[in-house]
């Protein structure tokens, strides 16, 4: 019954959609749950896989993966928050310039105060993330050294390159923020002079 209704619906549709339906029908007609693996398919334990050297290497790989993930997440958080911070700061600079050049009403000043509050919140978040990055950097350096000591030189070199790349990009974000903050300070200084 349901198949007839679906067929009627498909007749009204384009031929391509019928092909998709017929191609996907076997998935729904014969839904078999995955079978349990037999003895040949199961992983077999070997004594060499239980040695301390092997276990240390596996632990090192996990540590490097965790450090790499923390590095990526922290850098992304800093980058995203910095972009949002600069956007807010740019809006504030524009509003301050408007206030300098012409008479503005109270709603304009309210908007400036609101933006200052949002900017302060973003700045605090950036400072917290940068502080977090210091610890992630230490953790990543330790994971890199451990992987070197475990004999996994390529892993150590790769993680060190990722650390350097993230730190250089974070420095670029800091510099961009500082440049815009300097510009805002100048605009604010000019605004104070005009109020006298």
Look up the pTM and report it.
0.70
Name, in order, each residue with C-beta under 8 angstroms of 71's C-beta and a sequence gap of 6 or more.
Answer: 136, 137, 140, 162, 163, 166
Q: Contact, 68 vs 162, CB < 8 A?
A: yes
CATH topology for the 67-195 domain: Methane Monooxygenase Hydroxylase; Chain G, domain 1 (1.20.58)
- pLDDT tens for the chain, 196 residues: list them: 555 666 666 666 655 554 555 555 555 555 566 677 676 666 566 766 678 888 888 899 999 999 999 999 999 999 999 999 999 999 999 998 888 888 878 888 889 899 999 999 999 999 999 999 999 999 999 999 999 999 999 999 999 999 999 999 999 999 999 999 999 999 888 888 877 6
Q: Contact, 88 vs 64, CB < 8 A?
A: no
Q: Contact, 57 vs 147, CB < 8 A?
A: no
């Amino acid at each position: 019954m349901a198949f007839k209704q679906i067929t009627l619906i498909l007749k009204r549709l384009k031929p391509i959609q019928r092909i998709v339906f017929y191609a996907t029908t076997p998935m729904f007609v014969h839904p078999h749950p995955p079978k349990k693996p037999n003895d040949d398919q199961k992983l077999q334990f070997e004594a060499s896989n239980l040695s301390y050297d092997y276990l240390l290497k596996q632990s090192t790989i996990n540590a490097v993966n965790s450090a790499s993930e923390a590095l990526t997440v922290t850098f992304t958080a800093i980058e995203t928050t910095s972009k949002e911070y600069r956007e807010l700061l740019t809006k504030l600079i524009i509003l301050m310039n408007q206030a300098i050049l012409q008479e503005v009403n109270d709603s304009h000043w309210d908007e400036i105060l609101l933006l200052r509050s949002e900017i302060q919140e973003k700045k605090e978040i950036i400072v917290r993330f940068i502080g977090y990055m210091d610890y992630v950097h230490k953790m990543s350096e330790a994971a890199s050294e451990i992987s070197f000591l475990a004999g996994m030189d390529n892993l150590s070199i790769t993680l060190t390159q990722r650390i350097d790349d993230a730190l250089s990009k974070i420095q670029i974000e800091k510099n961009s923020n500082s440049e815009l903050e300097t510009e805002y300070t100048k605009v604010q200084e000019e605004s104070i002079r005009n109020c006298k």
